[in-house]
């Protein structure tokens, strides 16, 4: 993915040395179904800056979007991070690399087949700082809260209260809402600094019983 990574650096989507290093080490081709690799080739998958279908009505996000969201999130060594909508595990693996052995990532996926596929993909990298959970990500994960960071890979119609409550003071939440990416920084328990970045497209967040409640 070096050519694409260099492009993302040039266009200033990738800025942080640690995130750049993670992008170079953990390539998207290792997290897509083999039928795509056979049809398109590994080099194409690594260089193609667009979403790719992974089945079940879902996509693996384009590298530009993943880079942009990780730069907003700013994962640090030792962070506890909740990854909602983990899909095939690419972003999860990047997060595991970024938080290091002193951090931990909880990855929630609503589609059981994708949860299993993502877990197997991340396992190939030997990370011991991750747990995969099948469940409704809109509820967060109260048993492991509070989190330093929360990142969401699917678009919500509104931000669930659970995500805000489960974030530490000074924590960051990066979430797509409709066609924008939002960055929320928790200042006090009920007050957030927030900024909107419009112009993105995401698959919708799947809630329990596949209903938007």
Enumerate the active-site residues.
61
CB 45 within 8 A of CB 29: yes
Residue 191 CB-half CA count within 13 A: 2
Q: Which pairing describes strands 147-152 and 80-84: parallel, antiparallel, or unpaired?
A: parallel
Task: For residues 44 and 33, give the distance between their C-alpha atoms in angstroms, rounded to a whole number.
Answer: 14
Q: Would you report the helix, strand and coil content of the chain in percent, each value rounded to 5?
A: 40, 30, 35
The candidate with the shortest Cα–Cα distance to 158, out of 188, 189, 187, 194, is: 194
CB neighbours of residue 48 within 10 Å: 18
Measure CA of the first residue to CA of the last residue in the chain; give whole Å.
39
């Amino acid at each position: 993915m070096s050519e694409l990574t260099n492009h993302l650096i040039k266009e200033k989507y990738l800025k942080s040395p640690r995130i750049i290093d993670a992008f170079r080490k953990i390539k998207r081709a290792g997290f897509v179904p083999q039928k795509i690799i056979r049809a398109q080739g590994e080099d194409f998958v690594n260089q193609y800056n667009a979403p790719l279908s992974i089945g079940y009505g879902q996509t693996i996000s384009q590298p530009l979007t993943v880079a942009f969201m990780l730069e907003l999130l700013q994962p640090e060594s030792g962070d506890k991070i909740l990854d909602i909508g983990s899909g095939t595990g690419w972003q999860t693996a990047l997060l595991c690399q970024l938080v290091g052995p002193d951090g931990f990532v909880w990855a929630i996926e609503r589609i059981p087949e994708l949860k299993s596929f993502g877990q197997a993909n991340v396992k190939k990298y030997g990370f011991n700082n991750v747990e995969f959970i099948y469940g409704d990500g809109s509820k967060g994960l109260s048993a492991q809260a509070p989190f330093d960071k929360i990142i969401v890979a699917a678009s919500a119609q509104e931000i669930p209260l659970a995500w805000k409550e489960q974030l530490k003071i000074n924590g960051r939440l990066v979430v797509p809402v409709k066609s924008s990416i939002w960055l929320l920084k928790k200042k006090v328990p009920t007050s957030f600094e927030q900024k909107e970045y419009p112009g993105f497209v995401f698959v919708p967040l799947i809630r329990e019983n596949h209903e938007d409640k």
